[in-house]
Structure 1
Amino acid sequence: MSSAVSNGVSVAVDQNEYLAEGTGTVDAVVTVETGADFVAAEPPPERVEILIIDCSGSMGTAKKFEGARRATLAALDVLPDGTRFAIVQGTSMAKLIYPTDVPSVPADRTTRAEARRHLDKLRPSGGTAMGTWLGLARQLAKKHEGAMVHAILLTDGKNEHEDPATLAAEIQQSEGAFTCDCRGVGTDWRVEELRAIASALHGTVDIVKDPAHLAEDFAAMAQSSMAKAIPELKLRIWTPAGATVHFVKQVAPAIEDLTARRTETGGQVGEYPLGAWGAEERDYHVQVRVEPAAPGREKLAARISVLAGEEVVGQGLVRAVWTTETELSARISRRVAHYTGQAELAQAVQEGLAARQEGDVETATAKLRRAVELAAESGNESTAKLLRGVVDVDEHNGTVRLRSTVEAADEMALNARSTKTKRVRKER
């Protein structure tokens, strides 16, 4: 592993740089770590928190609306005084319910009390059109130029009152305007819909089965947002002539394919947005295709830079060395192998659950059996535990079969959390 630290940002590259004669695929895991000193050195940006609460008629059942109210107040309670916030009522349209005359207000004792009074007047009714919710959040974000804007979106249902193309367009227009964590309460919402929002807007998606647990989750999301002080980092990848970047995927703490988000910024140079950062560490799997060279020849396959704004704050190199020695070229980087397995695990889970929904028992069983194997091999105990809510595993012979009855919440939790990975330690 090679690593370099520049301006408080560490970039470490883990790879087997040796390639067999005639081959040209180079894999590397790039670990980006931002230190506390780097984060503290950044001038603190204005912070805005937007709380988007589903107020459709179905929220009036099973104490969901009561839980949403308490959760909204819990999030406001953990915001540092002076943090600006707004509350959006989401139905078949979006409405700013607090404040009502300005885009946001700073959190303090008075505004928190006023927000509580406005929430107490709300009554669930109407439908669900999440695209309109995102559209209003985007309008509010644009009123705070230069601010770090974070939204929490809560729903209990499907996006039934607008067509999918409208939601997709609103998601696309919102990219870069704000980040958004999504939560579904109960089991009548679609994981894929909220995942599409959270993925594009650098957020997380999860299920909260019991409305009583919403407050704790909202408070944790608001605190996590406040811990991020870097509005955005970017990964810039240069490749030599004749080489191309095949894919770039975040692989820890969760899998996120960034390949399609590439922006061309020059000859053989592309940039990938990484979202907002605090003092933290993330891993990326980069695969580059290069033109094979003669045995003994070494090439620089890629130069990877981390940018804050337009300043390069960290850099790492991906190399390729051709050899006729099978012992060298056959080695697989432990971390590349681990994260390749984690990506296969997430795919197996999602494909298995989709097949189960379609009634294809044979495919569902095969995919979920493979997921059980991969979870065990990689030590991903969280996913292994979730899988046991959907399949029965015979501990003696390893036989895997679908459960005849599966709790909807267990299936949705496995789906929503399938992209969370177990991190593998860096080799020193």
Structure 2
Amino acid sequence: MSALFSAEVDQNEYLPEGGRVVDAIITVTAQGGDLRNTDAAPSAAEVIMVDVSGSMGMPAKKIAEAKKATAIAIDTLRDGVAFAVVAGTSGAHMVYPADARMVPASGQTRAEAKAAVARLRADGGTAIGRWLDLANHLFAGEQAEVKHAILLTDGQNQHESPRDFQRVLDACEGRFVCDSRGVGDDWVARELRLIASTLLGTADGLEDPAELPAAFQAMTETAMGKSVADVSLRVWTPAGATIRFVKQVYPQVEDLTGRRAEVSGRIGDYPTGAWGAESRDYHVSIEVEPDAVGEEVLAARISLVSGGQVLTEKLVLARWTDDTALSTKINPQVAHYTGQAELAAVIQEGLTARDAGDVETATAKLGRAVQLAVASGHEDTAKLLARVVDVVDAPTGTVRLKKQVAGVDAEITNVRSVKTVRVKKKQEG
């Protein structure tokens, strides 16, 4: 059974006289779509890209755990799912099968693939774009509805230019979803976040290679649980209205504004990837033509669509009032996610300034991040920030940059900066 979609809207509904901006949080929930253990799942394809550069052998535990993790991911695939394993260095080569194609998962192919993975050795450089390019080629030969990739690296993308890397990402966009993970202490958060953002996946860093098997299993299980592919958030707006932005704000911040696909002059689709049994929040901000006090207009119609079918739909309204108590009331959901988006931005800006040696800007930005994290109940982010700053006074955002910070601490803080938490809604009655 495919997932059943539902949606809720939280918004700043009342505008002051002459007011134009309508902000709404749309919570979309898909239920009953976890198909990992059923025969009704959509067709799927999986490519696992494993870094086997020389640094993966230092210490040897990294390559050992990476091989163990890849074997677990292979075992987690449903029967019949097309799969391939790619080894990444300064190039990309097939681990299994031997030629550039994908094979259906079965008892035999799993055993053959795990045997091939067990023979991997660490040697060579790092050119992540070439790994993704091979994955894109493999996926192009498959008609699967859900196409998912896992990418593991322990290093910086040193053996190709940023321009070449971006070119490959652009070619892969919309072709498959990719979850990327860094392990060790030399990977770059910015690169992993770029992969996740472009390919609608997730990014994270693991300090201990022993975490890899569980991480690979979780990513593969999630991919096997997807039941609806290529879902878009469709936004209709009335004549004269302008969309200021469309962002995913939970479980992580992702700005979708620039990825609009025009359906018509007043309708645009924003990609959300594949869905299983899960819930996500989106922040849609619209500028409308002001109307008279007491009037109510439809500011937007928000729907989830897949294959031309509307999965769920909600309306966003605008009402004008001269009651300041109504027009100045801020919806807690809107306020919460506005703060979450700012939190992600100031962390990234602060760490960029820190890397550039701009102590003043870094201190100000990371201090603001601490203040926002504490105020919004983002405890995990507050703990991450404590890796790079000494907190003098959290409520006022007074901090000092730590003089000695492990590289991995800054990168993990960066890569997890886009993760968000939900505001707890007050119970009515």
1:264-301 superposed Cα distances (whole Å, 9 cap, x missing partner): 11121111011110011100000001111121121111
Q: Contact 2:30–2:279 at 8 Å: present in 1 too?
A: yes
CA distance in structure 2 between the partners assigned to 1:74 and 1:39 by the alignment: 19
Q: Contact 2:33–2:226 at 8 Å: present in 1 too?
A: no
Tell me which residue corresponds to 2:406: 407
Query: How far apart are 1:235 and its partner, in Å?
Result: 0.9
SS for the counterpart of 1:345 is helix
Q: Which residue of the other structure, out of 44, 47, 72, is the alignment partner of 2:44?
A: 47
SS for the counterpart of 2:86 is strand
Q: Contact 2:196–2:202 at 8 Å: present in 1 too?
A: yes
Q: Which residue of the other structure, out of 202, 205, 209, is the alignment partner of 2:203?
A: 205
CA distance in structure 2 between the partners assigned to 1:240 and 1:43 by the alignment: 39
1:111-142 superposed Cα distances (whole Å, 9 cap, x missing partner): 22222321233222222221111111111111
SS for the counterpart of 2:228 is coil
**Residue-pair matches, total:** 422
Tell me which residue corresponds to 1:308: 306
CA distance in structure 2 between the partners assigned to 1:397 and 1:418 by the alignment: 19
Tell me which residue corresponds to 2:283: 285
1:142-188 superposed Cα distances (whole Å, 9 cap, x missing partner): 11113311110011112222211111111111112111000111121
The one-letter code of the counterpart of 1:422 is V
Q: Contact 1:39–1:230 at 8 Å: present in 2 too?
A: no
Q: Which residue of the other structure, out of 120, 131, 151, is the alignment partner of 2:129?
A: 131
CA distance in structure 1 between the partners assigned to 2:193 and 2:120 by the alignment: 27
Tell me which residue corresponds to 1:269: 267
Q: Which residue of the other structure, out of 143, 146, 152, is the alignment partner of 2:144?
A: 146
CA distance in structure 1 between the partners assigned to 2:109 and 2:416 by the alignment: 35
Task: Detail structure 1 runs of 4+ shifted over 4 Å in the superposition.
Answer: 37-43, 395-398
Indicate whether 1:19 and 2:15 are aligned. yes
The one-letter code of the counterpart of 2:285 is Q
The one-letter code of the counterpart of 1:347 is A
Tell me which residue corresponds to 1:423: 422
Query: How far apart are 1:77 and its partner, in Å?
Result: 2.2
Distance 1:220 1:38, change over 3 A: closer
Q: Contact 1:24–1:292 at 8 Å: present in 2 too?
A: yes
What CA RMSD, in Å, does the superposition of the two structures yield over aligned residues?
A: 2.0
Query: How far apart are 1:21 and its partner, in Å?
Result: 1.0
The one-letter code of the counterpart of 1:118 is A
Q: Contact 2:346–2:368 at 8 Å: present in 1 too?
A: yes
Q: Contact 1:345–1:371 at 8 Å: present in 2 too?
A: yes
| Between 228-237 and 76-85, the greater mean CA deviation after superposition | 76-85
The one-letter code of the counterpart of 2:212 is L
Query: How far apart are 1:228 and its partner, in Å?
Result: 1.2
1:187-233 superposed Cα distances (whole Å, 9 cap, x missing partner): 21211111111111111111112222211111111111111111121
Indicate whether 1:182 and 2:180 are aligned. yes
Q: Contact 1:180–1:197 at 8 Å: present in 2 too?
A: yes
Distance 1:426 1:304, change over 3 A: farther
| Between 188-197 and 414-423, the greater mean CA deviation after superposition | 188-197
Indicate whether 1:32 and 2:32 are aligned. no
Q: Which residue of the other structure, out of 109, 115, 129, is the alignment partner of 1:111?
A: 109
CA distance in structure 1 between the partners assigned to 2:262 and 2:141 by the alignment: 29
Q: Which residue of the other structure, out of 27, 46, 56, is the alignment partner of 1:59?
A: 56
Distance 1:28 1:39, change over 3 A: farther
Superposition TM-score, scaled by structure 2 size: 0.94
Distance 1:37 1:366, change over 3 A: closer
Tell me which residue corresponds to 1:220: 218
Q: Contact 1:8–1:38 at 8 Å: present in 2 too?
A: no
Query: How far apart are 1:102 and its partner, in Å?
Result: 6.2
Indicate whether 1:167 and 2:135 are aligned. no
Q: Which residue of the other structure, out of 191, 195, 202, is the alignment partner of 2:189?
A: 191
Q: Contact 1:154–1:185 at 8 Å: present in 2 too?
A: yes
Q: Contact 1:9–1:38 at 8 Å: present in 2 too?
A: no
1:13-45 superposed Cα distances (whole Å, 9 cap, x missing partner): 111211111120110001111121697999522
CA distance in structure 1 between the partners assigned to 2:34 and 2:385 by the alignment: 39
CA distance in structure 2 between the partners assigned to 1:281 and 1:119 by the alignment: 35
The one-letter code of the counterpart of 2:418 is T
Tell me which residue corresponds to 1:4: none
Where do 5+ consecutive residues of structure 2 fail to align?
none
Superposition TM-score, scaled by structure 1 size: 0.94
Tell me which residue corresponds to 1:359: 357
Q: Contact 2:17–2:292 at 8 Å: present in 1 too?
A: yes
Q: Contact 1:58–1:156 at 8 Å: present in 2 too?
A: yes
SS for the counterpart of 1:10 is strand
CA distance in structure 1 between the partners assigned to 2:247 and 2:188 by the alignment: 24
The one-letter code of the counterpart of 1:62 is P
Indicate whether 1:77 and 2:75 are aligned. yes
CA distance in structure 1 between the partners assigned to 2:65 and 2:195 by the alignment: 22
Tell me which residue corresponds to 1:369: 367
The one-letter code of the counterpart of 2:250 is A
SS for the counterpart of 1:154 is strand
| Between 159-168 and 392-401, the greater mean CA deviation after superposition | 392-401
Distance 1:111 1:129, change over 3 A: same
CA distance in structure 1 between the partners assigned to 2:33 and 2:44 by the alignment: 20
| Between 262-271 and 123-132, the greater mean CA deviation after superposition | 123-132
